[in-house]
Amino acid sequence: MTSNALTDLSLAAFDRVVNATPGFRSRPGQREMAQRIAGSLSSVTLGEHPNPGKAIIVIQAGTGVGKSAAYLSTTVAMALARKTRVVISTATVALQEQLMTKDLPALAAVLDTPFVYALAKGRGRYVCKLKLERLAGAGEAGDDLFEADEDAPPPRAAFARQMQGEDPEERRMKLYDSLAVALAGGKWDGDRDNLAEQPEPRDWSAVAAERHTCTARHCPRFRECSYYNARTKLAEANVIVANHDLVLASLGRKALPELDNCLVVFDEGHHLPAVALDQFASAMDLSNLRWLDKLPKTLHEVSEKINLTLAQDVTMLAQQLKAALHDVGRILMDLLKVNISGYDGVYRFKNGVLPDELRDPMTLIQGHARGLSKALEALGAEVKLLAKEDPSQAVSCSVMYARLGQLAPKLGSVVDTSSLLLEHGPQPLAKWLKSDTSSGLVFLTAHACPIVPGDLLRQCLWSQVRGAVITSASLTSCGSFDYFLQEAGLVNNPCVSTLEVDSPFNYRTQGELIVVETAADPKNAEAYTQEMVGELLADLSQVAHGALVLFTSRVQMKAAVDALGPALQEVVLVQGQMARGRLLGAHQARVEAGLPSVIFGLQSFGEGLDLPGQLCETVFIAKLPFSPPSDPVEEARSEWLKSVGRDPFTELVVPATGIKLLQWTGRAIRTEDDHATVICYDRRLLRLPFGRRMLQGLPPYAVSRRVGGVALAA
């Protein structure tokens, strides 16, 4: 089929979808988006080719454009015609649910060609039946194989229950017995997300499916495996919905379609750079090293069972590694004591350079850990080979492989983190220590992370992708795509095109942005917070229906909560007081009952929250949403930029804050019928050049300022 024919076919599918939408209103921007996608992707070359055609379309689609209908109809119709598949990647569960329960069923109902869609999840979301059987007592007893990670700090909820006398072992046994019964009886499919009540992470980790503990086709439970059954459904799907983490983690692992042979959509694409940094970061625990006592014992027991002689003295290596980790831990604790107050805190190595006294022990750690890792991998390979050659030993081999696999992530984190900590090139890495006492014990961890996400994405993702759509309501900052293209590794890429599609909403008539001029400088946190809270409380007393207040820190939010009088205490719902879903439900119930209701929220409530109509008639922004200055990765990157003569505030901080501000103000107007006000208490938005630069990237609200309670022209 020619490019023109593919374009026409895709646009015909789009027209069919929008015409079948109840109450459809013509949105020129939505059609413009569909046309750009169809025209660009129609010329993409998929599969093996010496000189393939590529296209990456970056589209900012304002609130209300209907971007999911535009990209779904065009990419799915084109993929079906080309006999390929579509991977749709999101950043949030809420959007995944919308796609799976609303948008894709609606598309399937109107397309002539039937298609199958499925949700892809990481392996750890599924239960390992072999582990569960043994822990629930249905398998061979006395293995002492699959246990929760006792070295990890217990979550606060579990710690509190432990203090109240609850026996954690008894709770686990009840949980595993109930899961085994539900799985065996067909009442549960092995997907953690389909449980009525979510287990504690540490309890689940003991029965979760993991790559390191899985012998795949050689496992005696392979045909009944929840994860591989889900993989089979994915293989049959024409459209796969995943998340950014899974897409990046699956590169080269064949868990998802090869990206050079399918079409890809990254919705909520502004998250990609941050997800890339998370994927390539590494950390190692320096406090709990009991697993190193278990490791040589496990290696010896497994090697004896398969009559194999280990090539290395793993007992000596483990002892040497443990001693080196203890040495580094002592040095790092001394560093923390000198540089932070108390036992909680973060200490970053300036310019990514380790102190001299750390280099030798860290080099020893890297060497010993690599030696143990090679021994572990070699033994695991022999166990899998035995299972393949002698199926009668499949059960025992699966158990032995799982025992080895339980130790692989801890050992891998030591190898990876020590290697990154020792690495030093022209572009430094962020390297830091963190001490945490929230569980009642001191947990010390060492961390390392690249500082430029664009380089990672360019090398690992865009080198493989042939045809992609990246979309979001917030890809431009301060009126330009430059910041996102740089962060995403797409700058100067000839295959990239951009499109900004305005919202169909009339912001000048539907909304107003009021900037409150405080006497206190926002840089003077204490005085500013006190004045801002006073202004906020006066404004909250005027709320008639629903409103949202967004704070930049917990300290700031607590100051506002503590200042609430009895009347406002009855009105305000605070993030963290209850689960997000319950809180939003309570808010909606109050507003629908004719009562005022105000949500106090932090960063996560500034994005993805959909409160149309009376549910949110006012958004209050306590302060411009600059990231905390203590983030070690951002600190390291700013330090590096300064060292090469660049300005991190102008280049990074302002555009990143501009994107957040665009998201925060985007909570106000959600439909063509909404009328809402945004009130920002940070005078810098109008007074300072960087504030006016951020303002240029916001929708065209009617802007005014307020001084001493008096409204003035901006």
Say which residue, 557 or 25, is predicted with more confidence. 557
Q: How many CA atoms lie within 13 A of 226 on its CB side?
A: 29
Domain ranges of the chain: 3-116+237-277+453-501, 125-226+284-449, 507-713
Per-residue pLDDT of 682-714, as tens digits, reads: 999 999 999 999 999 999 999 999 998 777 777
pLDDT, mean of residues 148-175: 60
Angle between helices 314-339 and 291-305 (to 10 degrees): 160
Using 50, 70 and 90 to split pLDDT, how confident is the model at 343? low
* CA distance linking residue 28 with residue 358, whole number of Å: 61
pLDDT in tens, 380-393: 999 999 999 998 99
Residue 142 reports pLDDT greater than 50: no
561 Cβ contact list (under 8 Å, min separation 6): 572, 574, 600
Token couple for 532: 């801002």
Q: What is the DSSP string of 504-556?
A: SS-HHHHEEEEEEE-SS-TTSHHHHHHHHHHHHHHHHTT--SEEEEE-S-HHH
What CA–CA distance (Å, rounded) separates 1 from 392?
52
Question: Rounded mean pLDDT of 621-647?
Answer: 92
- Confidence band (pLDDT; 50, 70, 90) for 342? low
pLDDT at 424: 86
Residue by residue, DSSP assigns 84-114 as --EEEEES-HHHHHHIIIIIHHHHHHH-SS-
Q: Does the pLDDT of residue 150 top 60, yes or no?
A: no
Q: Which helix (H) or strand (E) holds 399?
A: helix 394-422
Express each pLDDT in 187-224 by its tens digit.
999 999 999 888 998 899 889 999 999 999 888 899 99
Predicted confidence at residue 166, as pLDDT, reads: 62
Question: How many beta carbons lie within 10 A of that of residue 492, not counting itself?
Answer: 7
- Domain 507-713 sits in CATH at 3.40.50.300
DSSP output for 488-509: TT-TT-TTEEEEEE--SS-HHH
Q: What is the pLDDT of residue 589?
A: 97
Mean per-residue pLDDT for 61-90?
96
CB atoms within 10 A of CB 670: 19
The token pair that represents 292 in the structure block: 């190193």
Using the structure block, give the residue that is written with the tokens 């929760």: 148
Whether residue 139 has pLDDT greater than 50: no
Judged by average pLDDT, the poorest of 144-158, 284-298, 585-599 is 144-158
Tokens of 170: 């008894």
Specify which residues 496 forms β-bridges with.
56
**Sheet strands (E) in 614-672:** 618-621
Measure CA 194 to chain center. Answer: 20
Per-residue pLDDT, averaged over 496-502, amounts to 96
CA 496, CA 494: separation in Å to the nearest integer? 6
pLDDT of res. 21: 83
What is the rounded CA–CA span in Å between residue 409 and residue 212?
A: 8
CB 326 within 8 A of CB 288: no
**Structure token pair of residue 360:** 């030798």
CA-to-CA distance for 497 and 494, rounded, in angstroms?
8
Same CATH fold assignment for domains 3-116+237-277+453-501 and 507-713: yes
Fold classified for 3-116+237-277+453-501: Rossmann fold (3.40.50)
Token pair, residue 354, equals: 């380790």
pLDDT value, residue 171: 85
pLDDT > 70: what percent of the chain? 95
% pLDDT > 90, the chain: 79
Task: Concatenate the DSSP letters of all residues of 332-398 into one string.
Answer: HHHHHHHHSSSS-EEEE-GGG---HHHHHHHHHHHHHHHHHHHHHHHHHHHHHHHHHH-GGGHHHHH
Model confidence band, residue 140 (pLDDT cutoffs 50, 70, 90): very low
- Please write the tens of the pLDDT for every residue from 529-578: 999 999 999 999 999 999 999 999 999 999 999 999 999 999 999 999 99
